[in-house]
A = this chain, B = another copy of it.
């Protein structure tokens, strides 16, 4: 009875307190547990399984375009971190330092990697000598540490999980093409796998990565209208190459500096899934990353043939999907709310009457719709339903985002929109960081990106009324 009592407690309604709703969902769907270290989360099996599915899908996409995985050390000696000036200025204030190893005090502090550009650069300086050694298209799946003051599961934690790609190329053109290719891969992954639409664009100077020439981003909109920077791709030019002396002999035997990129997507993406698709009954998982795509619930399981029939369904569907069966002695009603909370895309109920009719009852998590499915064509029906759930989630998210993108022609309408309509605001900007800072200080909205779609880009900066350089998307952000 303890479990069913636990589940009867409803979670906080989104409209009432979105932040508390989020915390309720991550805990009650058993995605995470808090750990003994402030700001570090434990990924429980259900939460980690989502991340594993994200990893395997993205990793396949990376490998298809020639990337290889490697493993760099966890530690960066302080002197190595300091080699590129902008980079160290950006990261040094927020790293964790190892000062003792075993019984000895270290002669040089080691930081726990907050990101690994410096380690990849040091390695590239060893292994790149000739044009034949290029390009290097490396990636790693690791955790990194940034000493954050305020943390939230998945969105901002002291330790978090990500992939970081680091590439080196013979020319600037190749490196820029790689940067944009990876941004496209992220955008396609969000759309096609997580059912989340994103806006592609470039970060402003003040928002770009420490050490980058250009930072590109995909920005998604959460249920409450706030933005989540969902993945970034950086073009470094030859700045790191000069700092780390990464040169190669070209085909004319002339020494050249390489041009580099890096790009990353993290466990923040799980936060995006929760905040884009979730509802007042809990998590709603996009089928392509759901740890359990189909949950089979036997009804009146003590009746002859029910459990056996449910097992037969499971075996059949397991050929194509991630399927589980819950034949525990808990009440069906408890099971329904449990797997609703956990966001399982499709529930199949199977009882004696269904068996008589050679059918089962499918219940969609996204719409609540109940559909009787013939057992003869079940695999095809499930396939079509899961695809339809994906499309429906994507369309709903796209509609919500579209309905919350506004345009502001002047300061007053901008201020009013920020206050009254949570979402993204398209507004012109002169390019001066001072104006960007004024917007942030006065309204709390930050520049999310300079979107690739720039029209209309003619007019005056909403802040200083000078001639505008860019159309910018602004919004409050996680």
- Chain A interfacial positions (CB closer than 8 Å to B): 2-3, 33, 35-37, 40-45, 48-49, 51-52, 68-77, 80, 93-103, 109-110, 112, 119, 122-123, 126-127, 129-130, 132, 138, 143, 145, 147, 149, 158-159, 161
Contacts and interface: CB of A to CB of B under 8 A. Distances in A.
A96 B103 contact: no
A461 to B, nearest CB: 35
Contact of A73 (B51, B109, B159): B159
B74 A143 contact: yes
B147 A102 contact: yes
A52 B59 CA distance: 12
A68 B52 CA distance: 11
A102 B98 contact: no
A132 B44 CA distance: 17
A2 to B, nearest CB: 6
Contacts of A110: 37, 96
A72 B45 CA distance: 11
A97 B101 CA distance: 6
A191 to B, nearest CB: 26
7 contacts: A41-B73, A42-B119, A52-B69, A74-B145, A93-B102, A93-B103, A96-B102
Contact of A132 (B3, B35, B80): B3
Contact of A98 (B33, B93, B112, B119): B112
A75 B144 CA distance: 12
A70 B98 contact: no
Contact of A74 (B2, B40, B71, B132): B40
A122 B43 contact: no
A69 B96 contact: no
Contacts of A145: 74
Contacts of A45: 68-70, 138
Given A98-B96, A98-B98, A35 B69 contact: no
Contacts of A44: 70, 127
A75 B42 contact: no
A94 B98 contact: no
Contacts of A119: 35-36, 42
A92 to B, nearest CB: 9
Among the interface residues A40, A74, A145, which one has the most CB atoms of the partner chain B within 10 A?
Answer: A74
Contacts of A138: 45
Contacts of A102: 93-96, 147, 149
A73 B75 CA distance: 16
B69 A48 contact: yes
A125 to B, nearest CB: 10
B42 A101 contact: no
Contacts of A76: 36-37
B49 A69 contact: yes
Given A42-B72, A119-B35, A99 B99 contact: yes
A130 B100 CA distance: 41
A98 to B, nearest CB: 5
B71 A161 contact: yes
B33 A74 contact: no
